[in-house]
Amino acid sequence: MPHVYEGRIARFDEPGKPFEIQTVSLPEVGPGEILVRVLRANICGSDVHAWHGTFATRGLGGQLPTVLGHEMVGSVAALGSGVSADSNGKPLGEGARVVFPYFFCCHTCRNCLAGRRNACLNLKMAMLGRADEPPYFVGGYGDYYLLPAGAVVYIVPDSVGDDIAAGANCALSQVMYGLERVDLQLGEHVVVQGAGALGLYAIAVAKARGAANVIAIDGVSERLELATAFGADTVLDLNEISTPKDRAKAVRGLTGGHGADVVVEVVGHPSAIEEGLQMLGQFGRYVEIGNINVGRTFAFDPSRFVFSNKTMVGVSLYDPAVLSRALTFLDHHQHSLPFERLAAASYPLDDINDAFAAADGKRDIRASLIP
C-alpha cells in the first residue's frame, strides 16, 4: 500500500482574495521524486507582486488556483525510487535538510545543453501548478512541497540554520549569478540600487568578490543601516540626495570621477534604470534584476549607452549549480554578516494573510512562514 501524505496548503485563488488554508492528500511519491517537508518559506517580492496581481503567474504558463512560495528550506519527508544522493553526490536520506532551485530544467533542450538551464525551453516552476488537483503541493506555502524527478537538490550544511538557508535558493543565488554574469573583478566599484533582501545579498557578494567600493542606495534608514552591516562602504539616502542628477554626481565623486564599473538594480521600478545607467562609467555593466512587472517602461537615450560602451544584462533565475556555491557562501560568512536579520519576522502558516500584510507594508525585509 502506498503511503498517503496529508498536509495543509495555503491556496491562492486570485489576486485580492485572502489565502485559504486547505488540507490535501498526496497518494504517493513517484520514481525520482522527492517530497520535502517545508521548514521555512520566505515571502519574496515576486510573491507579493503575484498576490497583488502585478506579477501574473498565468503569463508564465501558470494556472489558478495555485500555491505561492518558492524561497524555502525543507527536510526530506520521502524519497521516490532511484533517489539516493544530492546533486553533489552526498548520500541523501529522510530527514536531511535540503534546498533546491524552485524551477526545474529538462537538461536536454538546446538551451540546457548550451549551459543556459535557467532558459530551459521546457522550464517548470513552483507557483505555476494547480492547487486543486494532485499533487497539490506545488508551492512553498504548505506543509509539503513535491520535487519532480530530475530536480537539482543540495544538502544544507549542519552549521547553517533554517533562517539563513531559506534565502539561498532565490535572492542569494540570483544576485550571485548576476554578478558572475558581468564578471565582477577585484578592485571594481559597485552601486547597488535598493537595499532590500536582494540588495543586501548583492552588497555582501560584491565585497566577497573583492569590490573596492560598494555604494548602496535606498530611502529607508533601517535598510541603509543594514547595508552598512552587510559591507557597504558608502550609503546614499534618497531623502538626503533627492535628485537622480545629484546621486549620479555623488557616485562619480566616490569613484574617482569615473563612475561605477557595475550597477545592480533591485528596486523593481523602471525609473531606477535610467538613473543607474547614468552612474555607470566607461564599459560599465548594468545588472537588471528587479523589474519583473510586464508593460512598464522608461525614457532612454541610447547615445549615452553607445558612446560609453555600456552593457545591460537581464538576469532571470540562475544556473542551478550556483545554489551549491550559495550554501558555501552562507557557511563561510554567516558569523561575519547578519543574515539572520533578513528574515527576522516569522509567522505560522495559518497566519499567512497577516504575514503578507506585513510584507506588503515593508515592515520586514523578509517575512517568513513556518508551517
Summarised one tens digit per residue, pLDDT across range 186-206 is 999 999 999 999 999 999 999
Cα(201)–Cα(206) distance, integer angstroms:
8
Contact 367, 347 (CB under 8 A): yes
Residue ranges covered by each domain of the chain: 5-159+334-370, 171-314
pLDDT in tens, 299-345: 888 888 899 999 999 999 999 999 999 999 999 999 999 998 887 78
Handedness of CA 152, 158, 160, 163 (dihedral sign): positive
Q: Is the peptide bond prior to 135 cis by the omega test (within 30 degrees of 0)?
A: yes
The helix or strand, by DSSP H or E, that contains position 73, with its residue range, turns out to be strand 72-79
Beta bridge partners of 325: none
User: What are the residues whose beta carbons fall under 8 Å from the beta carbon of 21, sequence distance 6 or more?
Assistant: 8, 9, 10, 11, 349, 350, 352
CATH superfamily of 171-314: NAD(P)-binding Rossmann-like Domain (3.40.50.720)
DSSP helix/strand/coil, 121: coil
Q: What is the reported pLDDT for 348?
A: 97
Q: In whole angstroms, what is the distance from residue 111 CA to residue 117 CA? A: 6
Q: What percent of the chain has pLDDT over 90?
A: 80
pLDDT value, residue 38: 98
Residue length of the chain: 371
Give me the sign of the Cα torsion angle 68, 74, 77, 82.
positive
Q: What is the pLDDT of residues 116-167, one digit of tens each?
A: 999 999 999 998 899 999 999 999 999 999 999 999 999 999 999 999 999 9
CA–CA separation, 202 and 191 (whole Å): 10
Over the stretch 214-228, which tens digit does the pLDDT of each residue have?
999 999 999 999 999
Cα–Cα distance measured from residue 323 to residue 168, given in angstroms and rounded to the nearest whole number:
7
Q: CA-based angle 148:151:157, to the nearest 5?
A: 125
Check: CATH 2.160.10.10 for 5-159+334-370? Answer: no
